[in-house]
Structure 1
Amino acid sequence: MATAVEKVLYTAKATAEGGRDGKVTSSDGKLAVVVAPPAELGGTGEGTNPEQLFAAGYAACFQSAMMTVARRLRVDTTGSTVTAEVGLGAIPGGAYGIQVALVVSLPSLEKDVAQDLVEKAHQVCPYSNATRGNIVVDLKLA
């Protein structure tokens, strides 16, 4: 069962023209990118692609969630990074799906503290909550 948002705080709007071989523009004009299939999928690779856009959004959102949890726990995230690796491939039934690996670097923390922080952030992050139970999301410490 889907979880409804109790109160919408912000709504992002973006419009795609041409699908995977076109352009995407946000309603405020701050995002305007050429979209092209990567060379690995037979495209030119002369633009970004939906998987890169998803990876960028998930990485930024997850790090923000992690920093929020870290403040609550009073732990230091100085020098931290989050890299999202989004894989695209076939799933059963002839359709396509994605999987994600979140590679988190927390150089200022001991491994057990870092692991706990990452797991707690995974419960808070909106992207993690949206994908939970739908796709594989692998959490890794760098």
Structure 2
Amino acid sequence: MSKALFTTVATSNNTPKGGYVKTEDGLIDLTLVNPLMKSDKTGSNPEQLFAAGYASCFDGALNFVAMKKKLKIESKTTAEIGFHNDSADKGYKMSAVLHVQLKDVSEEEAEALVEAAHQFCPFSKAINGNMDVEVNFEVI
């Protein structure tokens, strides 16, 4: 394994009554609630956290590849994470649909940037072959 450029640490604790997740620096400090369980508690869940991470990582990758091509763009990436039954092992699995909006590029440039970002994004690499991913884009 190569040397890490940086490391971040988060800890989660769950009980039947709920749980929490907190980063070492305290910037993320959230109550966790299972959306499939009936509860009056308000909180986040791993799928929301994954959606936030994937959206921000992909959008960063998109802007990085645009910068490398000397293109100045504005972009917005929305990650839609689905939670599904997995009939293969009677467990669960996730899917992702990325909705990408770009300004200041042609359709052809947008398509090339989105494809390059998908190949470059660490989240996309991490889930490649393990999760169904659909990437849509539009030039606005």
Partner letter of residue 43 of structure 2? G
Aligned counterpart for 2:78 among listed residues 76, 83, 87: 83
Q: Distance in 1 between matches of 2:13 and 2:128?
A: 29
Aligned residue in 2 for 1:31: 28
Q: Distance in 2 between matches of 1:7 and 1:128?
A: 20
Q: Distance in 2 between matches of 1:60 and 1:13?
A: 18
Aligned residue in 1 for 2:52: 56
- The change in CA–CA distance for 1:32 and 1:111 in structure 2 (over 3 A counts) is same
Structure 1 residue 70: deviation in Å? Answer: 0.2
Partner letter of residue 137 of structure 1? V
Return 5+ residue gaps in structure 1 as ranges: none
Return 5+ residue gaps in structure 2 as ranges: none
Aligned residue in 1 for 2:42: 46
Aligned counterpart for 1:109 among listed residues 95, 105, 108: 105
Confirm whether residue 139 of structure 1 aligns to residue 135 of structure 2: yes
Q: Distance in 1 between matches of 2:15 and 2:47?
A: 13
- The change in CA–CA distance for 1:19 and 1:96 in structure 2 (over 3 A counts) is farther
Partner letter of residue 31 of structure 2? V
Q: Deviations for 1:37-77, whole angstroms, at most 9, x for unmatched residues?
A: 22xx2333611111000000011011111111000112222
Q: Distance in 2 between matches of 1:97 and 1:43?
A: 21
By percentage of residues, which structure has more strand? 2
SS at match of 2:72: coil
Q: Distance in 2 between matches of 1:68 and 1:47?
A: 32
8 Å CA contact retained: 1:25, 1:33: yes
State how 1:92-131 maps to structure 2 within 5 Å. Answer: 92-131=88-127
TM-score, normalised by the number of residues in structure 2: 0.89
Partner letter of residue 82 of structure 2? G
Partner letter of residue 63 of structure 2? M
Aligned counterpart for 1:69 among listed residues 46, 65, 70: 65
- The change in CA–CA distance for 1:117 and 1:46 in structure 2 (over 3 A counts) is same
8 Å CA contact retained: 1:36, 1:43: no
Q: How many residues align?
A: 135
8 Å CA contact retained: 1:63, 1:82: yes
